[in-house]
Every structure is written in C-alpha cells, then in structure tokens.
Structure 1
C-alpha cells in the first residue's frame, strides 16, 4: 500500500501539476481535450523550477522569478488546469525497473513520489490528484474552456 499524497501548506518544497495541451502530435488526438499534456512546477525558498517533458527531450528550467510569484495563477490565466500544492514524497522502491515509457504522466508521478496515484493519461492523473485534496484545502485552478 502506498502512502497518500500529502497536501503541502508550509512544506519546504511544494509541487504543482499543470495540465493542458493541443493535439500537435497525431498520437495525442485520442486523449481528452485540454488534458493532453502535463508538467510539474516546484517551488522552494529560492524560487521556481519547471520540469517540462516534451517529445524526445526533458526541459528543466529555473525561472527568474521570486518564490512569492504566483506561477500557478499565471498558468491558469494562460488556460491550463493546475492542481496542488503537494509535498514531494520519498522515491518509490521496486524490485524491477518500470517497463512503461517515459511520459509526461510518468515524470509528474516520479516528482510526486511514492504516494503518487496510478494513472496512464493526464486526465486520469488530474482526476486522481483532484480527489486526493481535502475539501477544505482544495486548490484546483480551473482551466479556460475553448
């Protein structure tokens, strides 16, 4: 049994997961509109780091904005759905390496740690993360509808 994700209030590092995306690759078309891609944004006392898995590469960017900058709000205004904050958990230990390909969902689950919900698509991850937040701590920033 994996531990539940912890909702972060005053954690030294917080994780936000953003969802969005157009079908710019043909294999993304079957995925739910607005939930064809996800990426992670981490906040610590020094600022923001964004982990953006793209087709064939991974972008890790340290943003030149202060830690007090409202990056989740910025992403929401840009039309993305954002859920969080979560405290990253410990790594998932296993006997065998994962046989799944490295995807945006896999990267976000790895950042969340051992308590990350099982999901194969960005929509599945969004639903499970949104369910995991307590009603009084719910901080889901809605996506703009096209």
Structure 2
C-alpha cells in the first residue's frame, strides 16, 4: 500500500513540514528605511512531498501559491542568486499555535504564527532571523 501525502487541510500537515524562510530587501520608503537592509520583508515556503506552498504576506493581501515538483536545492539556489537570506528548519512536532494576542499583522507576525514562535519582543524581520538562529532549530541551508 502506497503512502499518501498528508492533505493540506489536515492539522498534522504543518507539524511535519520543512520550512524555508526567506528574508529580503524591499524599497526603503517611509518606516521601511529604518529596517536593516536585506531584512525588510520575510516570507516562507512549507514543504509537502514534491511541492512547496509559498506564503507571502503582502501589504494588503497574502500571496499563496503552490510550487509543484520543486526541489529544495532549486529554491535555495534561486533565492540566494537573487540576494536573499535563508533559514531552513521544521516546525516542532509538539508545537502548538502561539497564544493569541492582539498584534498588528505583518510579515513577521504571520511567519511567527505559522512556526508557533512565542517571541513577543520580535517585531522586525532581522529580529526574527536572530531569534530563529538563536533557538538552533533553524540554520542557514548548506
């Protein structure tokens, strides 16, 4: 009997997936100028078998896209070639959704909630990067 992939709608799905987090620069307008260059936006990709789900929180919407039959190394090579910083890890199997709190929705907040990261002092993409590296569950891919 062949193994079937966990359906996207199954709550176990996010618990078993590798996650690639992408940090990038964006145009330095307004308050964005205060953020560290190269860390003005973040988004993530979640693995499911041969596919990756891209979740990119934008200013007025969230971009969701399924990237079919893409290998991890291809994603790493693409994002590095375009000057982005990457972290690779997995959601802890025992993680539960981060406690709800009233916080402004941002790229950082969405990624933290997908990862079930409880870090109320983390507001910026660079702070998220440092927090995830410090926790040692995420590393820059080799």
**Range class of TM-score, shorter chain:** 0.7 to 0.9
Contact 1:51/1:58 (<8 A) preserved: yes
1:41 aligns with 2:45: yes
TM alignment of 1:1-146, pairs within 5 A: 12-67=16-71, 70-87=74-91, 89-94=95-100, 98-113=101-116, 115-118=117-120, 119-133=122-136, 139-141=139-141
Unaligned runs of 5+ in 1: 1-10
C-alpha spacing 1:116/1:48, structure 2 compared with 1 (3 Å): farther
Residue 60 of structure 1 deviates from its aligned partner by 0.7
Unaligned runs of 5+ in 2: 1-14
Task: Provide TM-score, normalisation by structure 2.
Answer: 0.76
CA distance in 1, matches of 2:53, 2:60: 20
How high is the TM-score relative to the length of structure 1? Answer: 0.74
Q: How many residues align?
A: 125
RMSD of aligned C-alpha atoms? 2.3
Kept after mapping to 2: 8 A contact 1:43/1:67: no
Distance in 1, matches of 2:31 and 2:141, equals: 27
Between Structure 1 and Structure 2, the one with more helix by share is: 2
Structure 1 residues 119-145: Cα deviation after superposition (integer angstroms, max 9, x where no partner): 1000100011111226xxx73159xxx
